[in-house]
Amino acid sequence: MSTYHKVLTRKEFPHKANMERNGGYRVAIAGTGAYVPPKRLTNRDLEKMVDTTDEWITKRTGIKERRIVEDGVASSDLASKAAMRALKDAKVSPKDVQLIITSTITPDSLFPSTSCYVQKHIGAKNAGAFDVLAACAGFIYALSIGENYVRAGMVDNVLVIGAETLSKVTDYTDRSTCILFGDGAGAVLLRRAKGKHCSEVLSTHLGADGKHTDVLTLPAGGSKIPSTTKSIKERLHYIKFRGREVFKLAITNLTKIMRKTIDSSDYTVDDFSLFILHQSNFRIIEATMERLHIPPEKTFFNIDKYGNTSSASIPIALDEVKKSGRLKPGDLVLLAAFGGGLTWSSSIIRW
């Protein structure tokens, strides 16, 4: 499945105060927020746990350390903290939130949804709440749903969250997977845009290819392989991937979706000030940028600090970029992510 629709050109924006030509309201990113737990798991710590080295991890992934939660902390705890920061940034009260959408592959429980826990924690008693699962591409999937609720005029504001506690599903006896993942959460508050100058979601694009369901997966705990003593003994309740294969598929598909997203707009690569890619491996990001002939300084990295935080990586990056003051109003940003499913997603944002 793929969704591509034309986005407005730079010239068209000033004349479209409230409504886009394809129908619907403009969608502002009114606030951003992020939260990572304080506990650090460094490469040196991992050297003591599995047969690896700081040098190997740094060279192959770009990761130096990742944050992990203490026992008893769930994804909704991180999500709620990120959400409250986004609400504060947007100056919106929790009781005015109308919808909460959380993207996660590490929900507090299969049900209720993590969004329901968030709703309780932050006191957003007037909000509907549900989760989205599209692995590492999930935040932009959630953003797309939120975007279209606001665009259609069904709600005025939506809290979109990416939150993960991947340390709970990481096998710390497997050196090929345990070096990659970290915990964290990020959130944005989408609101119907008012006035000309605001950060705005211009478009979102989604894709998937179910023929690769087995290359990156958490096999047990669902209806296909329910959790049993056997499944736990076989360590099927932990993330499994075929690293080399995923590596190549990630570069191919990220390149494809980014090219297609730019081609479907009236912009060229040079019109974009920043490309924020899912923080999976710095070599995946570098190779993708190279294939698109984009200078490396036009991308963003924080993988050294947090590792791969799946759904949380894009909204954490957005929050860090915002706080850094790196972008000026009107700058164009392309978001792109890739994950298990396989799934991929992208979005054009005007800062």
Catalytic amino acids? 136, 278, 308
| Nearest CA among 70, 227, 77, 206 for reference residue 132 | 206
Binder of ligand COA out of 13, 130, 172, 247 (CB under 6 A): 247
| Nearest CA among 166, 148, 168, 36 for reference residue 101 | 148
Binder of ligand COA out of 112, 219, 221, 243 (CB under 6 A): 243
CA distance 188 to 117: 17
Binder of ligand COA out of 7, 33, 35, 61 (CB under 6 A): 61
Using the contact rule CB under 6 A, the part of the chain among 54-62, 112-120, 205-213, 268-276 near ligand COA is: 54-62
Two tokens, residue 65 = 């350390």
Q: Taking CB under 6 A as the criterion, which residues in 271-300 touch ligand COA? A: 280-281
CB of 343 to ligand COA, least distance (A): 10
CB of 125 to ligand COA, least distance (A): 35
Q: Taking CB under 6 A as the criterion, which residues in 186-225 touch ligand COA? A: 216
Site string for ligand COA, 74-113 (x = CB under 6 A): ----------------------------------------
Q: Which helix (H) or strand (E) holds 246?
A: helix 243-263
- For 129, how many CA atoms within 13 A lie in the half-sphere containing its CB? 23
How far apart, in Å, do the first and last CA atoms of the chain sit?
A: 28
3-state helix, strand, coil in the chain (%, to 5): 40, 25, 35
Backbone angles phi, psi at 52, to 5 degrees: -150, 175
Region of residue 210 (phi > 0: left; psi between -120 and 50: alpha; otherwise: beta): alpha
Between 120 and 175, CB nearer to ligand COA: 175
52 part of the interface to ligand COA, by CB under 6 A: yes
176 part of the interface to ligand COA, by CB under 6 A: yes
CB of 314 to ligand COA, least distance (A): 12
Using the contact rule CB under 6 A, the part of the chain among 104-112, 145-153, 157-165, 246-254 near ligand COA is: 246-254
CA distance 26 to 92: 18
CA distance 153 to 176: 46
136 part of the interface to ligand COA, by CB under 6 A: yes
Task: State the residues that interact with ligand COA by CB under 6 A.
Answer: 52, 56-57, 60-61, 136, 175-176, 179-180, 216, 241, 243-244, 246-247, 250, 280-281, 308, 338-339
